[in-house]
């Protein structure tokens, strides 16, 4: 079964009068600062871990209704950063957490964009722009490993790219064939992120087209995802 290439920003539902967003919070200490790509990998995994958490999938679960309300709107994700005490305090809110290298990213239940939980509201949204160590290697493609390719020539900050890979991981989970996604889940939702044009045909990947709210023009294809082997 093939999956058609899809967009992360479908046509705005006529009754969407209140935008919702899923908040991602990256831990960014001064030392050691996480690598850019590690933050992206952790962000992508955190999104899928939230979507597959029992609190989301079980009717009456803690995240169930808010995730359902958010998924009925545009897919919006906002990346914030925290360190020290502010990072520790975010643990008081229900969340999931994913790690990669020195990076840790927490995903929280979606909420109206302008009604941010008080513990998250003071955290900085813009200005998260990290780097990778020189010569950092990209893992090889492997069965059960999702590859997310950030499109060459599209310059994005770490925070913006984290939201885009989160979109890509979500769409991969929701739209790609169950035979592939079940193997991905069984392997713990492994992700690799690299810069490169898509190598899979349109029917075997998902594409993210940005809504154009920040950093890139509307309709820009920012990322693609699929299972390469």
Both structure tokens of 185? 């889940």
Q: Looking at the domain assignment, is residue 1 inside a domain?
A: no
Does residue 129 form part of some domain? no
Total count of domains within the chain: 1
Measured CA to CA, the distance from residue 10 to residue 7 in angstroms comes to 6
Helix (H, G, I), strand (E, B) or coil at 39: helix
Residues in the chain predicted with pLDDT less than 70, given as ranges, are: 1-17, 212-213, 217
Residue 131 lies in a domain: no
Six token digits for residue 112: 């109206």
Position 1 scores a pLDDT of 34
Backbone CA torsion sign across 122, 20, 89, 107: negative
Q: What is the pLDDT of residue 135?
A: 82
57 within some domain? yes
Instruction: Identify the pLDDT of residue 168.
Output: 97
The verdict on residue 6 lying in a domain is no
Range of the domain at 214: 20-123+139-226
* Residue 105 domain flag: yes
50 falls within a domain: yes
């Amino acid at each position: 079964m093939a999956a058609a290439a899809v967009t992360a920003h479908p046509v705005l539902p006529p009754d969407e009068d209140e935008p919702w967003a899923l908040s991602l919070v990256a831990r960014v200490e001064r030392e050691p600062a996480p690598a850019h790509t590690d933050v992206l990998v952790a962000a992508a995994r955190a999104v899928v871990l939230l979507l597959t958490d029992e609190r989301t999938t079980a009717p009456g679960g803690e995240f169930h209704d808010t995730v359902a309300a958010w998924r009925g709107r545009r897919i919006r994700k906002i990346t914030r950063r925290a360190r020290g005490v502010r990072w520790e305090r975010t643990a008081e809110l229900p969340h999931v957490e994913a790690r990669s290298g020195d990076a840790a990213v927490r995903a929280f239940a979606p909420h109206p964009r302008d009604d941010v939980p008080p513990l998250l509201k003071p955290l900085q949204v813009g200005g998260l722009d990290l780097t990778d160590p020189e010569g950092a290697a990209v893992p090889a493609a492997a069965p059960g490993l999702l590859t997310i390719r950030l499109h060459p020539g599209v310059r994005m900050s770490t925070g913006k790219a984290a939201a885009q890979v989160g979109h890509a991981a979500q769409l991969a989970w929701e739209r790609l064939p169950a035979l592939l996604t079940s193997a991905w889940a069984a392997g713990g939702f492994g992700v690799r992120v690299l810069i490169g044009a898509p190598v899979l045909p349109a029917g075997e990947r998902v594409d993210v087209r940005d809504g154009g709210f920040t950093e890139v023009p509307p309709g820009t294809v920012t990322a693609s995802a699929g299972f390469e082997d």
